[in-house]
Structure 1
């Protein structure tokens, strides 16, 4: 369950506040699915991938914004 919620929260990364929760739930979901052999492994994997992509996007956006100000 946490893998699916993490996937949704990571997908909503344009809101910025949901990314850390999506990453946390993605890693938590990955560990849960690995130990219990549940079927949420792809959701957990993509929650982590999307979360880190949004982190990179927001860091690049911040750096470009700061570059413009200089």
Structure 2
């Protein structure tokens, strides 16, 4: 079964764990990049905070489907 992952500031992403998402809190740019690289092949959707999305801007991505939370 495909999974959903959430990457970004802890205060914005922690609650998604209650819904069964993989929560990857990342406050600093290096942590955001490390979380992105740690995604398993079973992750189909990644939700990013707007700050995490700015860090990953320019990363090649044909997988997974990525969406950005409103600020």
Structure richer in strand, relative to its length: 2
Shared fold (TM-score, shorter chain, > 0.5):
no
> Is the radius of gyration larger for structure 1 or structure 2?
1
